[in-house]
Amino acid sequence: MHPFAPLLAFLASFAVPSLALHHGPGINATYDYIVVGGGTSGLALAARLAEDPSISVAVVEAGGYYEEEGGPENVIPALCPFANTSTDPADSSPIDWNFDTLPLTDANSRVIRYARGKTLGGSSARNFMVYHRGTRGTYDQWAELTGDSSWSWESVLPYFKRGCTLTPPNEATRFPNTTVTYNDAACDPAGGPLHVTWPNYGDPFATWAAIGLEAIGMSPANDFNSGELNGTAWASNTIHPRRQIRESSETSYLRSALKTSTLAVYDHTMALRIDFEGLNAVGVQVKTAGKRYTLRARKEVIISAGAFQSPQLLMVSGIGPRSTLEPLGITVIADSPGVGQGMWDHPIFNVAYQVNVETMTRYQTDPEYAAQVMLEYESRREGPLTTPVPGILGWERLSESLLSAEAIEALAVFPDDWPMVEYISRGTGLLDPSDGSNGEQYAGIGTALVAPLSRGSISINSSSAEHPPLIDLGYLTHPVDREVAIAALKRTRQAFEASGVTVGDEYQPGPAVQTDEEILEYIRATISPVYHPAGTCVMGKATDRNAVVDSQARVIGVNNLRVVDASIFPALPPGHPQASCYMVAEKIADDILHGPSQ
């Protein structure tokens, strides 16, 4: 039974807007720029390029509109955790690639269904809508790793600002104790395409989670968009402030571009291979409804297919490790050993209790209440359905007293302002009421490792882009990650105990789990993604043998080809990366249109 079956039945009448595209013609055609992937970065980049009326731009996207093909549970913020994003390999969604990982070697050999958006908007249509930026040190480290000062915090801040419109929270609809603090200078006054705001509801449990986190040392912060991640604050979200629905690269950048430009969108079109003449990328082989044809690029092909499929498309097109390509019969155009290597991700695990405040559990299990909150949402855009699950976020750089000397030394690779752990208040502890709820309320605090040292990889076992890539997450393969995870779970327990809202014994992991060995086994059995893969086409210096692209996102070893998405991050920022995905797109678009800023 779907955990929201009563509510989803009530949602049958919920309408999505009528949508239209500037469709490509479905035959061989030529454009100045072809962007492969209509996701978070891809649509932002394409829309900015298309602002120049003298430039022709096409986007190739394997999916369509998530609003029409995925339904209202992909639009209404509170339902985002239940839009078929389970890690169960039996789960699936029509707007997802439905990828399965390789067995997790250090997490009980579990195979995880890993959500990736197969839709216009990409994973901005599948995420939890959290918007924040990394720390100053994050981007200053990017500048160091790439040898390009234009990636420093001060240099990239204008690109963060230009992409979004920040709308203050509607405090009249939120509870008095859910007041939001923020820096209104975090976005340009003129505003950008992407709406960033806070929901018209403050999750009651989040206020108690904040009390618990503050009790163990995390003080309230002003905001998380000004270069600091330390303490606790309400998460800002990619939500439309008036309509209180999901905001994605499709609802923002694409819809704006379709009104003002000639941007061509090839939806439901699979990119099969990049075409080369010598070392020059000249086009893309694609397939729509079973028909193969070629799109030619006068100037550049830009891959924005995400951290899994950007390296896959490079490899099937002849750019990647020779030892991988030649056995598959792929002609090597550029031997690039870093393609698909060094993947970062943020894994998460949970502590949950029964609590004495109202949580999402109620509208999972009470059809009458579900109808009531839906009516509140549909008529006034207020109430619990306006809020994604993450309410309060907490950030902590663990005290050295909690870590071994070996861990302290290993973690010194991160800048001093980089937190090790993110705590995420979750107004639900039971994702499926069949787990045992009989009207009780449950809540959780998710604990994510945001300074992981474990690395994974992406590879292929087929020369066809239509076969799924091989996804090795690498979770917990580094011993320091295991040590940090144990310490972080203990800290989460302390926060819950200090919150003053728990009822009875701990629900997850449960009071029987006490020793470090027992805690680690629980983590191995339950660890899952926050869905932040990055670094598989890493940006770096020309002297770095593992660098796949240079500091302007140009693929090293060939011409007229770039990669622009999270795969090029030289370091995965702590926390939620979608703001950085938009920033990278804004910056590279500016480089293309006006020359590099350095």
Q: Give the pLDDT confidence score for residue 9 in this predicted structure.
A: 57
User: Alpha helices, DSSP H only, in 381-515?
Assistant: 405-410, 479-499
Q: Kindly report, residue by residue over 94-109, the tens digit of the pLDDT.
A: 999 999 999 999 999 9
Residue 352 pairs with which residues in a beta bridge?
Answer: 444, 508
First and final C-alpha spacing in the chain: 55
> In a 10 Å sphere around its CB, with 0-12 CB exposed, 13-18 middle and 19+ buried, how is residue 202 labelled?
buried
CA–CA distance, 248 with 164 (Å, rounded to integer): 11
Cis peptide before 509 (omega within 30 of 0): yes
Give the CA diameter of the chain.
68
**pLDDT of the residue at 432:** 54
225 Cβ contact partners less than 8 Å away, ≥ 6 residues apart: 131, 132, 133, 160, 182, 183, 186, 187, 236, 579
Query: How far apart (Å, rounded) are the C-alpha atoms in residues 208 and 214?
Result: 10
Model confidence pLDDT, tens digit, residues 536-580: 999 999 899 999 999 999 999 999 999 999 999 999 999 999 999
What the block records as the tokens of 544 is: 């770095």
State the CB neighbour count (10 A cutoff) for residue 457: 18
Share of the chain above pLDDT 70, in %: 93
Q: Are strands 470-472 and 528-529 parallel, antiparallel or unpaired?
A: unpaired
What is residue 435's predicted lDDT score, i.e. its pLDDT? 56
Instruction: Report the candidate in 477, 213, 459 with the shortest Cα–Cα distance to residue 345.
Output: 477
Catalytic residues: 532, 576
- Alpha carbon distance 408, 204 (integer Å): 36
The token duo for 54 is 């003298």
Domains of the chain: 97-114+174-247+344-529 (3.30.560.10)
Q: What integer pLDDT is reported at residue 425 of this predicted model?
A: 95
What does the alpha-carbon distance between residue 392 and residue 427 come to, in Å, rounded to a whole number? 10
Res 166: pLDDT: 95
Binding-site residues for FAD: 40-41, 127-130, 577-578
Alpha-carbon distances of 48 from 44, 217, 257, 283, 533, rounded to whole Å:
6, 43, 8, 20, 25
Instruction: Please state, as a whole number, how many other Cβ atoms lie within 10 Å of the Cβ of residue 464.
Output: 11
Q: What is the pLDDT of residue 11?
A: 54
Look at residue 3 in the predicted model and tell me its pLDDT.
46
Q: How far apart are CA 47 and CA 33, in angstroms?
A: 11
Query: What sign for the dihedral angle of Cα 564, 548, 597, 282?
Result: negative
The per-residue pLDDT for 322 is 98
Strand ranges (DSSP E) for 244-320? 264-266, 269-277, 280-288, 291-303, 319-320
In degrees to the nearest 10, what's the CA dihedral of 474, 478, 482, 485?
Answer: -70
Residue of 568, 533, 579 lying closest to 101 (CA atoms): 533
Q: Kindly tell me the sign of the dihedral angle through the C-alpha atoms of 185, 553, 120, 455.
A: negative
User: What are the tokens at 25?
Assistant: 């013609």
What average pLDDT does the chain have? 93
pLDDT along the chain (598 residues), means of 10: 52 54 78 98 98 97 94 88 81 94 97 96 95 98 98 98 95 89 89 95 93 96 94 95 96 95 96 98 96 97 98 98 98 98 97 91 82 90 90 95 98 98 83 59 95 98 98 98 98 96 94 98 97 98 95 98 98 97 98 84
The helix/strand/coil state of 91 is coil
Rounded CA separation 73/10 (Å): 11
pLDDT, residue 252, reads 97
What's the CA gap between 384 and 374, in Å, rounded? 9
- C-alpha count within 13 angstroms, C-beta hemisphere, residue 133: 27
